[in-house]
Chain A
């Protein structure tokens, strides 16, 4: 069991999402940065599909009832907990992550995962619908998160299998794949379905602007603060499908990038579509974070996707080797 002493800004259970239900209006949801989630899982010897805690900007303080093998990946937090490596937290140990110093979202995975039943095929928390994860909501003070019965034994056994280890951790760390080195980050986009509905000046503005992630951004969408974009075409747009990374422009002209808990359809013009490999990188921007959009082709976006996947697979294989696999 893990006891929540302080919940942090928004800490929720997330896995790789629920699929096959968009035709009834349910978005896949899941981790905002699935790459960091996969690494965190690999570092505690889990399948990359296991659920972990998604931690946002201000970290929680947690107390572990029994020995637990833990890894935190994604954003770097200032609380001093080792980043990107397996750590054996002893029974009664506390983890206090503090504030994010670089990036916005971290994933805390633990050996064996949580003892939570999947809802519609996933343990991801869907907060707007109040289901999935732990009671369909973000963690609160006093919550007790159930772990698998074999969690402590599994944690000690897996830690013991690590080839190079010190008392409680290892002398190495896994590489980050999605953290911004510097801002503005460059995010690749394809022209959206309604790109031609905007005149050349607006199109240029979209690509010339350094956008800021607005403070009212959340898991559903990132609002982008900058110049307002006016659509030139006047015909009505038929509502149509949207997806992760769609950048739409509502009537007020301030673009919104759709994130994990996005709506499955929308009636606003779509000016751009973010390359799938760059969505987790965008997810690592905190409010105020800066982003610059660069145009790419479908082929380039597919290349970026392959590059990201190959890099992650190599990292996961390397970590498995450390466990003696």
Chain B
């Protein structure tokens, strides 16, 4: 990648975490570099670092409570050392996750509303959503919850005016130019257009989370029968 990233600043999130900021707006190239940087910082294996969390425009370093120093200067040192060594493309997570989605009406709670708002038919919405290439921009909000960029701009609708108290687990939803898959039955305001039978977060799995920052994601339409078959395998 031709571009490099420039450190905007480091903000303490309390005395045991620091936010290393590279951009205040969503810039996909910066986002991809931040994800590689997070991998590189993690790989340095600093004993006083408990978590390295890449976000949309920067990364957070969370420190062990036994850490004796200044979290801001330690974060600057670690990040600068990683940047100096260069962030290699091999550190990139070149994984593609394929998510089967059933777009049938019983799962697509907001399909009609989206159809009205976008002027697209149900078939066109499914076609556009399932042919898009997505990338996980950030993990957050709940365990296994991935914010994915790459939604067809024609499908960009705002969040629902009133969030649902319960969005069923596995619901595939859209809002603005992003898409998400709800890992649990939780409250949420995104527009639901289908459901996956896969477990998004499973503590019994070797990799509990189906998604990780930087993953490429594709959605594959499936019918009811396939949904039931896959749901039973869980």
* Chain B, 13-60, CB within 8 A of any chain A CB: 13-17, 19, 23-26, 38, 50-60
Least CB distance from A223 to B in Å reads 16
Check B212 for interface membership: any CB of A closer than 8 A: yes
- Known contacts A25-B209, A120-B208, A129-B184: does B70 contact A299 (CB below 8 Å)? yes
- Known contacts A129-B143, A238-B24, A241-B17: does B12 contact A298 (CB below 8 Å)? yes
Stretch at the interface among A52-60, A78-86, A205-213, A270-278: A270-278
* Residues of the A chain whose Cβ atoms lie less than 8 Å from the Cβ of B145: 25
Q: Are B60 and A243 in contact (CB under 8 A)?
A: yes
Assembled-state Cα–Cα distance A238/B149 (Å) = 14
Assembled-state Cα–Cα distance A299/B145 (Å) = 35
* Chain A, 14-35, CB within 8 A of any chain B CB: 19-26, 28
Check A259 for interface membership: any CB of B closer than 8 A: no
Check A306 for interface membership: any CB of B closer than 8 A: yes
Assembled-state Cα–Cα distance A221/B4 (Å) = 37
Q: Residue-by-residue, is B60-79 near A (CB-CB < 8 Å gives 1, otherwise 0)? A: 10100110111110000000
Assembled-state Cα–Cα distance A128/B186 (Å) = 9
* Residues of the A chain whose Cβ atoms lie less than 8 Å from the Cβ of B151: none
Q: Are B203 and A131 in contact (CB under 8 A)?
A: yes
Assembled-state Cα–Cα distance A25/B71 (Å) = 22
- Known contacts A241-B19, A243-B60: does B14 contact A274 (CB below 8 Å)? yes
* Residues of the A chain whose Cβ atoms lie less than 8 Å from the Cβ of B24: 238
Check B91 for interface membership: any CB of A closer than 8 A: no
* Residues of the A chain whose Cβ atoms lie less than 8 Å from the Cβ of B54: 23
- Known contacts A25-B140, A193-B13, A274-B14: does B186 contact A243 (CB below 8 Å)? no
Assembled-state Cα–Cα distance A50/B60 (Å) = 28
Q: Are A265 and B11 in contact (CB under 8 A)?
A: no
Assembled-state Cα–Cα distance A305/B56 (Å) = 30
Majority SS at the chain A contact face: mixed
* Residues of the B chain whose Cβ atoms lie less than 8 Å from the Cβ of A20: 50-51
Q: Are A264 and B16 in contact (CB under 8 A)?
A: no
* Residues of the A chain whose Cβ atoms lie less than 8 Å from the Cβ of B52: 23
Assembled-state Cα–Cα distance A99/B190 (Å) = 41
Majority SS at the chain B contact face: loop
* Residues of the B chain whose Cβ atoms lie less than 8 Å from the Cβ of A245: 14
* Residues of the B chain whose Cβ atoms lie less than 8 Å from the Cβ of A264: 53, 139-141
Q: Are B12 and A309 in contact (CB under 8 A)?
A: no
B23, B25, B62 interface centre (most CB from chain A within 10 Å)? B62
Q: Are B55 and A263 in contact (CB under 8 A)?
A: no
Which of B38, B56, B68, B144 lies in contact with A25, CB distance below 8 A? B144
Nearest B residue to A22 via CB reads: B51
- Known contacts A131-B203, A305-B65: does B138 contact A276 (CB below 8 Å)? no
* Residues of the B chain whose Cβ atoms lie less than 8 Å from the Cβ of A243: 13-14, 16-17, 60, 62
Q: Are B56 and A306 in contact (CB under 8 A)?
A: no
Check A46 for interface membership: any CB of B closer than 8 A: no
- Known contacts A190-B14, A243-B60: does B70 contact A298 (CB below 8 Å)? yes
Assembled-state Cα–Cα distance A40/B76 (Å) = 37
Check B196 for interface membership: any CB of A closer than 8 A: no
Which of A21, A265, A298 lies in contact with B138, CB distance below 8 A? A265
Q: Residue-by-residue, is B134-150 near A (CB-CB < 8 Å gives 1, otherwise 0)? A: 00001111111101000
Nearest A residue to B39 via CB reads: A23
* Chain A, 278-323, CB within 8 A of any chain B CB: 298-299, 301-302, 304-306, 309
A22, A130, A239, A240 interface centre (most CB from chain B within 10 Å)? A240
Q: Are B141 and A263 in contact (CB under 8 A)?
A: yes
- Known contacts A128-B186, A238-B26, A239-B138: does B143 contact A26 (CB below 8 Å)? yes
Nearest B residue to A195 via CB reads: B11
Least CB distance from B1 to A in Å reads 21
Check A151 for interface membership: any CB of B closer than 8 A: no
Assembled-state Cα–Cα distance A306/B70 (Å) = 12
Check B171 for interface membership: any CB of A closer than 8 A: no
Assembled-state Cα–Cα distance A28/B64 (Å) = 12
Which of A119, A239, A265, A306 lies in contact with B68, CB distance below 8 A? A306
Check A244 for interface membership: any CB of B closer than 8 A: yes
Least CB distance from B204 to A in Å reads 9
Least CB distance from B154 to A in Å reads 22
* Residues of the A chain whose Cβ atoms lie less than 8 Å from the Cβ of B147: 239
Check B219 for interface membership: any CB of A closer than 8 A: no
* Residues of the B chain whose Cβ atoms lie less than 8 Å from the Cβ of A238: 23-26, 56-57
CB<8 Å pairs between A and B, sample of 27: A19-B50, A19-B62, A20-B51, A21-B143, A23-B38, A23-B51, A23-B213, A24-B144, A24-B201, A25-B143, A25-B145, A25-B183, A28-B51, A119-B203, A120-B208, A129-B184, A238-B25, A238-B57, A246-B13, A264-B141, A265-B53, A276-B14, A298-B12, A304-B15, A305-B16, A305-B65, A306-B68
Give me 4 other A-B pairs in contact (C-beta within 8 A), A23-B52, A299-B70 excluded: A25-B145, A128-B142, A241-B53, A273-B13
